[in-house]
Amino acid sequence: MEIGKIVNTQGIRGDLRIIPTTDDPKRFELLDTVWVESKEGTKEYEIEKVWYHKQFVILKLKGISSINEAEKLKNSIVKIPRELALPLGEGEYYIGDLYDLEVYTNDEEYLGKIVDILFTAANDVYVVKKEDSKKELLIPAIKQCILEVDLNNRRMTVNLLEGLREL
C-alpha cells in the first residue's frame, strides 16, 4: 500500500523528503521498515529516523547516507504491506483501492475509471477517464459528489455537480 512519494532530498546526509499520501503522517513513526518502489525495482529499507518539516515527512533510511544515493530515489513511491495499514473508519477507503474503480452517475451513465487522485488542500480530487477518450473528468471527493463506493464490485456512484463536465 502506498503511503507516500519521495519528492526530493533533505540536506546532504541522505534524508528523503516525502509527501505523505496517508491521512495520518504520524503513522510513519509506527513503522520499522518501508518498501521503496523506484525505477530499479522495489527494495525494503529500515527506518533510522522520522521527522517533519512543513507538510513533508522526512525519512532517514539505513543504507542511504549521501545526497547522491538519496537523489536516485526521487519520484519513488513509499509502500507498506497491507497488514500494517491503519484501520479505517466508516466511509473511509485506502487510496490504492480506489484506482481503476468504474465511475457511474446516479443516472447510470458510465463516466470512466479512476486513473489518478490529486491531493489538494481542500479535498482529494478523482481523475476519471474513459479508455477511448483524451478528456479527463475531475470529481472532488466530497459528500455532495460521492454517493457510493462499492469496492467489492469495483464501482463508484457519483452526483455530478453543475459545471464539473466543463472543467
**Cα–Cα distance, 35 to 124 (Å, whole number):** 24
**Cα–Cα distance, 167 to 163 (Å, whole number):** 7
pLDDT band at 167 (very low <50, low <70, confident <90, very high): low
CB 112 within 8 A of CB 137: yes
Same domain, 79 and 116: no
Span 162-167, average pLDDT = 75
Q: Which residues touch 150 (CB under 8 Å, ≥6 apart)?
A: 156, 157
Q: What is the mean pLDDT of the chain?
A: 91
Q: What is the CATH number of the domain that holds 50?
A: 2.40.30.60
Residue 106 Cα distances to 73, 111, 114, 146, 148, angstroms: 42, 11, 16, 10, 9
pTM: 0.67
**Cα–Cα distance, 115 to 83 (Å, whole number):** 25
Q: What is the pLDDT of residues 45-54, one digit of tens each?
A: 999 999 999 8
pLDDT band at 108 (very low <50, low <70, confident <90, very high): very high
Query: Between 52 and 163, where is the model more confident?
Result: 52
Same domain, 114 and 155: yes
Same domain, 102 and 51: no
Same domain, 74 and 126: no
Q: What is the CATH number of the domain that holds 103?
A: 2.30.30.240
The grid cell for 59 is 525519512
